[in-house]
Amino acid sequence: MNISIVRPGELGDSERSRWRALQKADPSLDNPFLSVEFAVAMDRLRDYVRVAVVHDGDSIAGFFPYERHSFGIGKPLGGFLTTCHGLISAPELKIDTKALLRAAKLSVFDFDHMVAGQPTFAAFETDVRPAPIMDLTAGFDSWIEQVKANSPKNLKTVRYKERKLGREQGRLRFEYASPDPAVLRTLLNWKSDQYRRTGRVDRFAQPWIVELIDLMHAERSDDFAGVLTMLYAGDVPVAGHFGLRTATTLVGWFPAYDTEFARYSPGIVHHLQMAEHAAKAGLHAVDMGKGGKEYKDWLKSGVLYVAEGRVSRPSAAAAVHWIGRTPVNKARTIVLDRPSLYKVADRVLKGFGRVRTTLQSDSPPDTVVKEPSGAR
């Protein structure tokens, strides 16, 4: 096998078609973050995006998109923004991982949402975790029955709040796949407010991320699209979500709601209606991503698996990277494994968010309030 390194934007039509064919042939790759369209969009905005093209004789056997940072530090494409990464190839393909890193000029590649069990990376997996999904293959009615079985009390409460919201604030209306950029801006403003309110770094403070969202919102093909959804009470937007889809899977990305309506639990009401409209649109699953929120436990009707791990070549850069990253990864795993610790960490971040908001409001215009080093 030969491995060549190019930028995703340099791939020709035949190569992009081959990428799509390999992705469609393996159900474990049915995720829009693994799509060539996402790689090309990232390449337009970031200079460090690359793809390793694996040639087996005259044919292309696989594609490995990645980011190459200073000192040969490799990261998954999209990094902290994405919930799935991996090698796009036939399921049985196994590449010499060290040779792959050498061709890509990487000292180390650290991953935390790798498609679990890929032969090339399986030996380097240190942890495998479930990512809950809403399985819609049997239709919405079948899925909602599973939700009811998971937690009848929660479903009953949300349905009550849904009726109350419509009764007190105006008839509910759900818009699926809105093309309106103004609606997208409303959602992103809510999300920025949520980041600040809960002590997280506001991702949309980085202009390139906003530009990426705009590029994804404009994508509307059968195999790949950005999907903007919004729940309205009367004419007032109350909760929404922006995610990406393949032909059959929608991946959760940026959900948010107007806190003025928080007493109605509009985010969960929105998720129920989003699942119904996704099923009507022919989608088979909504991937909610691994980690954290309790609502995922009772909305899920299936799981996928993603892996954490690290592969490296002997080098000073790899050693320094290991020293810096391993304790952080272990601490995050411990917190995620223990719901009580997760809740405490969440409360601490929210408390920091309230303090930061106060500091910012009391500070002179040029004052910068720094983020804690561990915030995401």
- Which helix (H) or strand (E) element contains residue 212? helix 207-218
pTM for this one?
0.84
% residues pLDDT > 70 (the chain): 83
Residue 366 predicted with pLDDT over 70: no
pLDDT value of residue 369: 26
Mean of pLDDT values over 213-234? 98
pLDDT value of residue 291: 76
The C-alpha atoms of residue 162 and residue 159 are separated, in whole angstroms, by 5
Mean of pLDDT values over 55-67? 96
Burial 94-108 (b: 16+ CB within 10 A, else e): ebebeebbebbebbb
Quote the tokens at residue 203.
């991702």
How does pLDDT run across 88-133, given as a tens digit for each residue? 999 999 999 999 999 999 999 999 999 999 999 999 999 999 999 9
pLDDT value of residue 293: 77
Other Cβ atoms less than 10 A from the Cβ of 262: the count is 12
Mean of pLDDT values over 230-249? 98
% residues pLDDT > 90 (the chain): 80
How does pLDDT run across 295-347, given as a tens digit for each residue? 899 999 999 999 999 999 865 454 554 455 555 454 445 444 545 434 544 45
Mean of pLDDT values over 200-214? 96
Pairing between β-strand 108-115 and β-strand 73-76 as defined by DSSP bridges: parallel
Q: Greater confidence, 313 or 161?
A: 161
- Which helix (H) or strand (E) element contains residue 174? strand 172-175
Reported as a pLDDT band with limits 50, 70 and 90, residue 294 is confident
3-state SS, residue 371 = coil
Q: Which among 34-48, 281-295, 361-375 has the top mean pLDDT?
A: 34-48
Phi and psi at residue 84, to the nearest 5°: -160, 135
> Dihedral (C-alpha) 336, 340, 346, 348: value to the nearest 10 degrees?
-130
Reported as a pLDDT band with limits 50, 70 and 90, residue 373 is very low
DSSP letter at 243 equals E
pLDDT value of residue 323: 52
